Structure 1
Amino acid sequence: MTDLFSVAGKTALVTGASRGLGKAIAIALAAKGARVLCSCSRAGGAQATVDSIVAAGGTAQELVADLADEHSVRQLASQALQLGSVDILVNCGGTIFRAPAHEFPMAEWRKVIAVNLDAAFLLAQLLGAEMIKRRSGKIINIASMLSYSGGITVPAYTASKHAIAGVTKALANEWAQHNIQINAIAPGYFRTDNTAALQADEQRNSAILARIPANRWGEPEDLAGAAVFLASPASDYVNGHVLAVDGGWLAR
């Protein structure tokens, strides 16, 4: 029987692949047979990810791009396509800035929106155009629990993640007819650099844990199965969906 969860022979571009969720997703896709292009913001940043994949018998290489810069994002898409067709795009690269809304610097607002939203849309647009020609492709955007709620002192991040959920649905409406599946994963509270401040805040940490039925923070590896599912033929009739991987947070 065909392995519905195999991505053998496919090429995946994963942004934010240097650490955390992006690294775990890149390693998971490689383990299921994909050649993985690991994008990061500085040269050598994703080397540990590439080394892990190669050590396990997989194929990977690093690409460098500043997701806050449109020209750099366009170059990333061009470089990826020069290496062959991109069958799977995972928009995982992201950033966050914390400040009270009435003091939030507009420069930081623009940076968060550029990295979390603009880069994701532009990569989807540039690589999606090629997917349309081939009538095949998978795009996975990384949403958030803040695609559903407002959060505290993170207005730009919240805006970007609400928008990612909307863009996911909008692209699915247009591109499903071309046999392209565009979905999103909304991670719950995971142990990553982006949540370091919350983990260190005893009051916030306790409040978060109290609401998670699984009674623990998520680890990056907890996202692997969802990513493989949405990248593989197992999800060929799943489109425009935001899949929460949250330990039950939304159910509480």
Structure 2
Amino acid sequence: MAGKMDMASDDGLAAAKNGYRLSAASPTLPAGKAAAYRFAITGPDGKPVTEFSVEQTKRLHFYAIRSDLTGFQHIHPTMAPDGTWTAPLTALQPGTWRMYASFTPDSGPGKVQGFVLSTTATVPGSASRVTLPKASGTTTTVDGYTVTVNVTGRPMAGMAQPLTVTVTKDGRPVSDLEPYLDTHARLTAFHAGDQALAHLHPETEVSGDRGGPSLTFHAELPKAGDWRLFLQFQTAGTLHTAAITMNVG
């Protein structure tokens, strides 16, 4: 996979790395309504980067999540000729949000190197913190689907382990998962302590236009503690997002 990163050494919490920087047009966003978040990626020469490699069908993946790990959004923004990206965010609740850009430059000194850069944005208003669900189980539900996460043994920080996700509905295995971004599901994790981001890369090959019910991911979470996992999968043209908390020792 082009631009695949070593997430053990790149947690996505910095706004700049190796001369590349994520710069936002504004540090604040309105509450309770859709908003356009504009930003640019500048290179070591200080100029906006406009050439990006395609990774999982997109030149840049953008994520937004509140400090309590609620309100997850995964967006594919559009870029203007001058290098300005626009991410169309749905309504945000008041609080502090972290915005991530995951990309691989297709020119310059960072060519073929994957980056995740992030910065924070404030949404004014009275913020009510949501308590993260405890990592007490391996099953969650979304839109009528049941998602079960299994790891062999206790997940340990920095240790690569296979992680299997199984999708069922009404007690029956789901085998009509449609390709989404060149995979049958995408799994993104955020650390509850500091919002570090990790991609859990799929190992199940996409074959044909249907997949499931079980999918395997390469899981290597770099820090101990609770992680909030967001699984995105598509059926009948509809994208579903399931969330579950997993503890790493």
Choose between structure 1 and 2: higher strand proportion: 2
Choose between structure 1 and 2: higher helix proportion: 1
Report if TM-score (shorter chain) is over 0.5: no
